[in-house]
Amino acid sequence: MHHIPFFLNILKFILEVLTSFCIDTEYIAWYIYDHGFRFQPLLLKQHLEGRSSSYEGVGRGGQMNGVIYETKSGVNPAVRLARTKSKKKHFVQQKVEVFRASHPVLSVLMWGANHSINDLSQVPVPVMLLPDDFKANTKIKVNNHLFNKGNLPSHFKFKEYCPQVFRNLRERFGIEDLDYQASLVRSPPVKEGKVHEERLLLTSYDRTLIIKQISSEEVADMHNILSEYHEHVVICHGSTMLPRFLGMYRVTVDSEDTYLIIMRNMFSHRLIVHRKYDLKGSLVSREASCKEKGKELPTYKDVDFRNNMQKVYVSDEEKEKIMEKLNRDVEFLVRLKIMDYSLLLGIHDVEREEEELDGSSSEEEEDRENGLPSSLPPVGSCSTSPEGIAGYMNSCKAFGPGEFDPLIDVYAIQSAAGAPQREVYFMGLIDVLTQYDAKKKAAHAAKTVKHGAGAEISTVHPEQYAKRFLEFITNIFA
């Protein structure tokens, strides 16, 4: 190691000669790194130039820890080495984290989300969003040939849509980028229960985020409404029953594209949902199938809601707040000619939770008597290193049965004091990317022929759909 200063002095002399020909010192540093001299390339570059650390703009491409990647331009650094220095460049070192998941798409999503947030943290927040921000995207191509395939695929691409727009939306929904990053990256996303879907539908490890696979058509639909959606969120100060969209990505593995959208989880990260309904306001073909009813947590529909004589018990004041938000959101959807959305209703039974807690307490007491270690600390107990959306905000708060933090469980509503049962409700709008187009018109015509013009079919005009939907939802309250 005592030869290193001498070696660096020689390099410094070479640098002075090369810079006289306008060759970028950063590529020299990378060249040295790539040919066996294992220094930190950026630190080496800074030492050679005799200056302090700095971060120059958005990453252009490079190699670190065996990962070679390039951005949309796709120019090889070796070719650019011989070119004159025309623009600022820098290389982003990949973090030490291992993004290991059961599915390669998820590993790449974790890697990409981590890389994206790290990059964004170096870019100043714009004073205001411009029209181009709603069309922008960032791409990265990785040739990951030296990595273990158990962690990441050999080759993959990652694309983020409208990064500045979604960054702004996260801020308006009260989510710090570092918490968003931790919720997505700290541990792999998981499936909720025994879900067998053709498309990926997962929750983040802390259950605060939903990761949903969508089609390329839905990506286009999202682009079509994103500007108006952002404006709506700004006007209502983030208080909405619409899905809270936080990020949209494309992951390419083995030449196959997977489109993913990230949303806030409408259900609680800690309170178990015991019953759930998908309500559209139509009674035609709106009953859960026998197969669905056989599931551990079936999704019931409009007919089931009536047959079960289900009601939502909230105070008049709370009902007024809910309907005010719902009317405003539905009016927004009508303006965009969106329909076929649903109200997702989840119900947490507080008394059932108390019974389950009593049972688990008895089991833990028996374990302690038998000398077995106790289970994980209860949710809400103090953590020494809170991370993620849930951990950041309530890591040291203790919650009793049926209690929740409204800053975390943003869709949660407590039942009224005089309700026959103590319950917590989770209510929000889902499936809001279906616009009334030629396909919907054809479906409406076919169903009208089958069921008659007066039937409450689900496929109608957006204005009719909204009117019927709001009338039905108004009547779900006791």
Q: Which residues are catalytic?
A: 212, 340
User: Is there a contact between 120 and 136 (Cβ–Cβ < 8 Å)?
Assistant: no
Closest to 338 in 3D by CA, of 465, 214, 247: 465
SS3 325: helix
Tokens describing residue 339: 């329909």
Buried-exposed string 345-357: b where 16+ CB fall within 10 A, e elsewhere = bbbbbbeebeeee
Tokens describing residue 126: 């714009």
Task: Find the DSSP H helices in 269-410.
Answer: 290-293, 302-307, 316-335, 350-369, 388-394
Closest to 80 in 3D by CA, of 63, 67, 57, 56: 63
**H/E segment holding residue 470:** helix 462-474
Burial, 113: exposed, middle or buried (Cβ in 10 Å; 0-12, 13-18, 19+)? buried
Which phi and psi angles does 260 have, rounded to 5°?
A: -130, 140
Specify which residues 157 forms β-bridges with. 141, 252
